[in-house]
Amino acid sequence: MLCRKNSSCEETGSVPVYLNVYDLTPINGYAYWFGLGVYHSGVQVHGVEYAFGAHEYPTTGIFEAEPKQCDGFTFRKSILIGKTELGPADVRGVMEDLAEEYKGNAYNLITKNCNHFCNDACIRVLLQLCSSGDFKCNQSEASQN
Given a contact cutoff of 8 angstroms between Cβ atoms, the answer to whether 25 and 78 are in contact is no
- Which pLDDT band holds residue 128 (cuts at 50, 70, 90)? very low
What domains lie within the chain, and their CATH numbers? Answer: 2-143 (3.90.1720.30)
pLDDT of res. 12: 54
Residue 28, Cβ neighbours under 10 Å: how many?
Answer: 19
Comparing 6 with 108, the larger pLDDT belongs to: 108
List pLDDT tens digits, range 70-115.
998 999 999 999 999 999 999 999 999 999 999 999 999 999 999 9
List pLDDT tens digits, range 7-62.
334 445 699 999 999 998 888 888 888 888 889 999 999 999 999 999 999 999 99
Cβ neighbours of residue 94 under 8 Å, at least 6 residues apart?
Answer: 86, 121, 124, 125
Catalytic residue among 40, 118, 122, 130: 40
Q: Is residue 114 annotated as part of the catalytic site, yes or no?
A: yes
Catalytic residue among 9, 46, 70, 114: 114
Q: Is residue 46 annotated as part of the catalytic site, yes or no?
A: no
pLDDT of res. 33: 83
pLDDT of res. 73: 93
Q: Quick one: DSSP state of residue 60?
A: B
pLDDT of res. 112: 97
Comparing 2 with 101, the larger pLDDT belongs to: 101
